[in-house]
Every structure is written in C-alpha cells, then in structure tokens.
Structure 1
C-alpha cells in the first residue's frame, strides 16, 4: 500500500510539473502595452474582457522577434496585438480563407487593420487548401475557429475539408520547438461534424487527438477562459451566452527532434 501511495504521489508531482513547463514569458508589461496599442479600435477593445489577450499570450509564451501566424484571423484582433509583442524584429502572418474574405464592410475593416499594423501581412488561401510552407513560424494561434474545419456550408461556400490535412500542414510550417495555441468553445463528445454544424463547438478531446496525431505534444492547458456556467448544448451565438462561452486553451509544441 505504501508503495502504491508513493507512486501516486510521484505521478501527481510529475503531472504538476508538466502543467508548468514551457517558455518563460516576456516582460508582462510588454503584453499589457500591446493590448493598450492606440491603433486598436474601440470595437476590438470591447472583446478584451472575454478574451484576456495579455494573459493568453503570456501563457503561450509569445516573445519579441518571433515569426508568428494568426490562423483564420477573422477581424485581425489577435494579429494586431501579436505584432506589437513581436516588434520590428518579428513578423505576423494573418491567414484568412478566401471564402471568409468576401468583400463588404468586414473585409474593409480587416484591410484597415492590416494597414494600421506594421509587421502584419495578410495571406488569403482556399479554405480547403491551407499550405503555408515549411519551417516558417515560431508561434501560431487559432482562436475560436478550429471547429470550422469540421464545418460545411453551401450558403457560405465552405467546402467539406480535412482537419487532419490542415494540422499536418501546420506541423510542417512550424519550426522545431515552436508553439501553437488553440482556443475554442467547449463542446460535448459525439459526432464532431454534427455538433459543429448545430452549435459551433468542439470537444477538446477531439482537438487534442488531432494535434497529437500530427506530431504535436500538448505541453499545457489553462483555465483562464473557462466558464463552468456555460451550457455546452447552446449555440455559441445564443444571446444568453455569446461572448461568455466556456473555452479551452491548449499550448501545443512541435518537438525539437
């Protein structure tokens, strides 16, 4: 019995250590200053309370000088903040599927943000054809969008795509030792495509399995975006929960060898 208890204690210590390993963050003041960037619009600042950008980027370990990627950038929210963190010696590539960049006011807003964000380059690509190249990035983030790889929509011209191919190509694009952060709405286990179609959520276990299958290692996870009061059966756009969903935050790493 004593041997079993000792083994359990050792295992607990090991798990605790794994939860805290990873890159030492840059000066916390750098993240706060990046969020306070006067070039950011008031519309985007309103999202800060729910997204906690300074805390998220500190947890993920984004640093000055890194080559970073903002995947499915959407409004460019993260790309702009990330550019302030990596500074003039770094770079940010904001990847946006061509199907999401469909003109109109949202595209104009993204263009304006890119123009106001030195160091950010917009890269458009076919939704099912993500192929960023090899060994390009030290850091990548995909926020509230990974589930869309399991989504298909005739209305929005979103074809059925292969999430495994996306993650394989992402793995190839990351340098050895690079970090990928994934944030998404917590969904229930089950048929992933059906759940995504119905509520735009994803089971965290599915994401972990997809990334580990490609070769990434889950280095740590954080509860800073969690909301235990969220009903995982609700559509994320439901007014009662929009902007306040229960979210998981994973830090994956590409092994160095």
Structure 2
C-alpha cells in the first residue's frame, strides 16, 4: 500500500513538473515579437532573416533582468529590440559614436555622429516604447564618461570589431569591454567573417575579420570562448567583392551595378561568438 501511494505521489509530482515546464513560454517568443514590432520600420524588419535577432540574443543568454551594454548601435537596429525587452526589469546602456563638436574632418566620423544623434532623438521621441536608455560615448578604446568596472552582465557588439581592428584599437577596446563586465558575465560578438583558406590562413577583404584572429584577441585580454554558433552564417557570401563587405546589403556600395545579384546573396557571412569573463580572475 505504501509503495502504491509513493508511486502515485511521484507520478503526480512529475506530471505537475512537466506541465509547469510545458507552460513556460519560450524565452525567444518576446524577442521574436519585438523583432516584428510595428515600432520598427519595414526596412529594419526585412533584415531579421539575415540577423536572426531572437535566436542570436537567446544564444548569448540574454535575460530581461540583466544590465546590458550595446556598443555602437548605429541606427539602433538591435536597440529597438533590446530596450523594450529590458525596460521593465533590466538596465540598458548604449555606447554611441562620439558627437561632432565641430572639429571632425573625417567624413565617416561625421556620418557616424549623425547616426547617433538621430538614434538619441528617436529614443527621446518614443520613450514609452524604449523606456530608459542610458547613453554614453565610445571613442575606441575609451568610454566617455569613464565607467565603473564590472557593472554589466552582458556587453553586445554587432559588426564593430573590424573597425576597431582597422584603426589599431581591437585589443585595447576588448580590454575596456572586459573591464566593464562582471565576473561570469558575457561578451556577445557578431562580426563579418573572412574566407578561411586553412587552419592558419584566411583572406580578409575590406570589412571582414578572421574568426580565429578575433577569438585569439578576446582570449588575450582574458575572455574565455564559451560557444560559437552558425546562426548568422551565409554560405552564399563569397567574400571577394569589389568593395568588400560593403558591396552587400544593406550598404550596396556599388549602387545599381549588379544590384540584384548582391541582393540575392544577402547580408554577409558572420561569426557569432559568446565569450565569458571568468569568475576567478587569473
């Protein structure tokens, strides 16, 4: 009799546990809904197929109660998803491009400054949607204002590392990010991936970086590679385009020349890397 009762109790307990797990929503559901939000432009939504935001952020381990820093959000493609996702329970900061104080001579820096100004205005105008978004600036490798160390659970960078590397700031910027992340915290990095020729060589035309090189740089400053994913891979990308990665959408640097061909390829092949800052520092 006791054995029968025990079996019944175990069966009921397991059934309730299973029902509880089955009823829990997929953590990607909310992210998927935000990726398709009416607050986003049709142009931004059209890029979901290449950037896979819900799966990418789930892979990095994003939770709604985290303190998150997004680096160089540009037009705010990911900000439109991250800000509303974190606004109730989390703490969200974006590190914008440096504002143009009138001394900029580089046209690219001026363009970036305009992007940041436009995003700031958008966030201000749509406060109900975005919530509180803290804004700072990153002039690689330094943040302005200077931030206290170990305050973020997660730092996210989407297609920025090639610019840091181009300007000789990759290692120093990764070190700055490392210092800001709590022990056990995550660096989520997506980057255009160069063509691999062998285990030791690759071809990196403009805008692309070798995956092994990026991993080695992150490990050099103290990060540990936790996982890598092919979520954002694109086998159609031959990585030998006349203007490098900028030949492909969304930039389409060649204008109407072979436009349909490059649109058919889609956005670049990308590495998706999850790094952890060790709990115990060396």
TM-score range, shorter chain: 0.7 to 0.9
Q: Is the 8 A contact 2:140 2:173 kept in 1?
A: no
> For residues 191 and 83 of structure 2, what CA distance do their matches in structure 1 show?
22
Moved more, 51-60 or 235-244: 235-244
Which residue of 180, 191, 215 maps to 2:187? 180
CA shift in 2, pair 1:101/1:229, >3 Å: closer
Which residues in structure 2 correspond to 1:4-153 (within 5 Å)? 27-98=27-98, 99=109, 103-104=113-114, 106-115=115-124, 116=126, 117-130=130-143, 132-151=147-166
> For residues 149 and 33 of structure 1, what CA distance do their matches in structure 2 show?
32
Secondary structure of 2:219 counterpart:
helix
CA shift in 2, pair 1:50/1:64, >3 Å: same
Post-superposition shift, 1:211?
A: 0.6
Post-superposition shift, 1:107?
A: 4.0
Q: Is the 8 A contact 2:160 2:191 kept in 1?
A: yes
Secondary structure of 2:213 counterpart:
helix
Gaps of 5+ in 1: 1-24, 152-159
1:231 equivalent to 2:238? Answer: yes
> For residues 211 and 128 of structure 1, what CA distance do their matches in structure 2 show?
14
**Structure with larger Rg:** 2
> For residues 100 and 140 of structure 1, what CA distance do their matches in structure 2 show?
25
Which residues in structure 2 correspond to 1:196-235 (within 5 Å)? 198-234=205-241, 235=244
Q: Is the 8 A contact 1:72 1:142 kept in 2?
A: yes
Gaps of 5+ in 2: 1-24, 99-108, 198-202, 253-260
> For residues 179 and 59 of structure 1, what CA distance do their matches in structure 2 show?
11
Moved more, 223-232 or 106-115: 106-115
**TM-score, normalised to structure 2's length?**
0.70
Moved more, 206-215 or 78-87: 78-87
> For residues 110 and 272 of structure 2, what CA distance do their matches in structure 1 show?
24
